[in-house]
Each structure stands twice: as C-alpha cells, then as structure tokens.
Amino acid sequence: MRDVLAAWRPVIDEEIERLLPRETGADYATSFFGPPTYDYDATAIQHALSDPVWALLDRGGKRWRAVVCCLLIEGFGADPHEYLPYACIPEILHNGTIIVDDVEDGATMRRGESALHHEFGTDVALNAGNAMYFFPLKIVSRDPADLAPDTRLAIYEMLMHELNRTHLGQGMDIHWHNQQAIEISEQQYLEMCACKTGCLGRIVARLATILTDQPEEVEHHAARYAELMSIAFQIGDDILDVETATEAGGAFGKGIGNDVREGKKTLMAIHAAREADPERAARLEELLWADENSTEEIAEVITIFEETDSVAYARECALDIATEARDHLAELDLADEPAENLADFTRFVVERDV
C-alpha cells in the first residue's frame, strides 16, 4: 500500500494545484468563483487562500482519502483519472478540518512545524480552513465530469449528511476534553470516531459509488468499509501517540504524548479508567484533566495504560474493526488489484509506524 500511496500522491497534488494554483490572480478568482461584482483584490486572495493552503499541503500528508477514492472508482471498473477533482474533495476537506481543529485545540505544532494559526495568524488560518470546507464543494457544481443533475444532487445531499455528523463528532470529542470524569461508553467513543473521522471516510467511499452509479447496497458496504477503516485509523493514531512517547523514554519533545497533554479521552483512556482500581483511575482522570503535564506525568499515564493492558486492548479493537472493514469490502464486487490494495490499507492503518 505504501507504494500505491507514493505513486498516487503527485497525481493528487497536481490535481489540487490545478483546482487551486500556488499563484492565483484576479483571472483565477473570476474563473473559479465567478466574476466580481466590483473588483477583486488578487493579492489579498493569494495571501488569504492559496498561501496558507499550500503551506499546509507542502508539509506532507499521505493523501490517502483521495487515493482510496481513486482505488474504489478503479475497483468499480471506471477510470479514476476522469474523476480526480472529486477525489480531491475529501482531501481538501480533511486539511481544512486540521487547521480548524488546531485552532480549537490551541495546538502549537502541526506536521513538525508551527500550527497554521501560529504561522499565519488565527484570522487568516481560520478563514482559510473554513474556505477549505466550501471550496471543494464548489467542484461539484463546476461539474468537470459532466454528471447528470440527479448525480450532483446526490453528492450534495450525501456531503451535507456527512459534514453535519462530522461536527457532532467534534462536538462530542470537545465536550469530553472539557470534563474531568471519564464517563464515556465505548459505543459513544466509537460513535465520536464514526462521526469525526468516519464521516470523511464515508465521503471518500460514497463519492466513488455515486460517481460510478452503484446500487444502494454497494454504497452501504463501501461506506461502512471506509467508516470502519477510518475508526481503525483513528485508534491506530492514538496508539502511535502513546508508543512514540514510550519509545522516546524520558526524552519527550513537543508533539510527543500530545493526546495526554490535551487530555484526550482515547479508547485506551476509557479502558484504563474502567479497568484500573478506583484510586489509579482517579489519578488518570486528574493527569488527563491537568492543563499542563510534565514528562514524568506523561510517563505516569503510560504506566497506567500498561498496568491495565490498555494499549494491547485498543490494538485488538482496531484489528477487529479492520477485519470488519474487510468483510464489508468483500461484499463489493471489485477488480482484484484495487481490492487487494484496499484490503491491505485496512492493515496499514493499524500497524503503521508513521
């Protein structure tokens, strides 16, 4: 899967650059957004939109959302190159959510550099992040693949469904951050992931099925595959955060043990709070709740996770969810090679080390 991701990445980036060039101007603004009523300030649009978007994209990211969309389209027997602008929709949305989430969480770092709102200011970064919510949706009405009106409507209604639930998921996650007690059920945790991360996955899959005109049942299985894979990806991310911190020993830099610093109620935290004796569970809640954590305190949280086998438990859950994702994938009648890559990806998201 790594090879497939590496091969597709420049193709996706080239397409995003076609949609939003690094150097824009009044002509670009007119062609993409429509003519001005009076007169655009092209410099302002460059600084407010193109600069921050590319500053983030150039820092990396795997573009897996666009790649999975392309692989699904290919699996359904269509040519993904005909639908590249659509495959970029979830990718741009995702990068927009990163900027907004970092403002919400007060994050300082992103992909090894300053968070966008630290580099560009909260005003520019946040407006760019929000523009990245609507910019990709405009692609559908620009209609590069000459879709039937019903298809365009189906895409919009799908997007509105999923993007609303994204905000429910983020709302749940934020609310839990702001509570000291860990009183979340696993079903609620999984729902948060299904909304916050899963909905973007569902957009990836449902775009592919709507674009290639698949029946409802196929759309259902494809969406569930992508949703479950996204949940497994999220849990994998949480595990990675703890493991990197563990391997780093006492030498934590910025960006290591972030979930603990932020007091994130991960599956590991929920499991540990349930399994630890009451005193240790209360200590865990206290450490996650604290505004600041020392290196020792982060190590203490990890020790509590180890005492309760919480990392192993989370990995087991992620593996089960990845298996469930593959079951849904198997219900789709996909071409062999993309099907194998898509199945392979459900393993990658749990076992990856980056």
Which residues would be at the binding site for a copy of itself (CB under 8 A)?
Answer: 29, 33-34, 36-41, 43-45, 47-49, 100, 103-106, 121-124, 126-128, 130-131, 133-135, 137-138, 140-141, 149-150, 152-153, 156-157, 160-161, 163-168, 170-172, 174-178, 184-185, 187-188, 190-192, 194, 198, 227
Our CB check for a copy of itself shows the closer of 18 and 81 to be 18
**274's tokens:** 């349930």
If the CB atoms of residues 60 and 171 are measured against a copy of itself, the closer one turns out to be: 171
Q: Which is nearer to a copy of itself, 15 or 162 (CB)?
A: 162
Find the shortest distance in angstroms from Cβ 174 to a copy of itself: 5
Tell the smallest beta-carbon distance from residue 170 to a copy of itself (Å): 5
In this complex, which beta carbon is closest to a copy of itself, that of residue 47 or of residue 118? 47
Burial class (CB in 10 A: 0-12, 13-18, 19+), 284: buried
Determine if residue 253 is left, alpha or beta; phi over 0 gives left, psi from -120 to 50 gives alpha, anything else beta. Answer: beta
As to burial, measured by CB atoms within 10 angstroms (0-12 exposed, 13-18 middle, 19+ buried), residue 198 is buried
Nearer to a copy of itself, 82 or 123 (CB): 123
134 vs 254, which CB is nearer to a copy of itself?
Answer: 134
Least distance in Å: CB of 7 to a copy of itself? 32
What is the nearest approach in angstroms of a copy of itself to the Cβ of residue 234? 13
> What residue has token string 């830099």?
253
Instruction: Find how far residue 125's CA is from the centre of its chain.
Output: 18
Distances (CA, A) of 341 to 68, 74, 90, 120, 287: 9, 11, 19, 38, 41
Which residue has 């569970």 as its token pair? Answer: 281
306: which residues sit within 8 A by CB, 6+ positions away? none
Tell me the closest approach of the beta carbon of residue 101 to a copy of itself, in angstroms. 9
- Full DSSP string of 35-66: --SS---HHHHIIIIIHHHHHHHTT----HHH
For helices 149-177 and 84-105, angle between their N-to-C axes, nearest 10 degrees: 20
Output 179 or 295, the one with its CB closest to a copy of itself.
179
Q: Smallest distance from the beta carbon of 132 to a copy of itself, in angstroms?
A: 9
Cβ 243 to a copy of itself, closest distance in Å?
A: 25
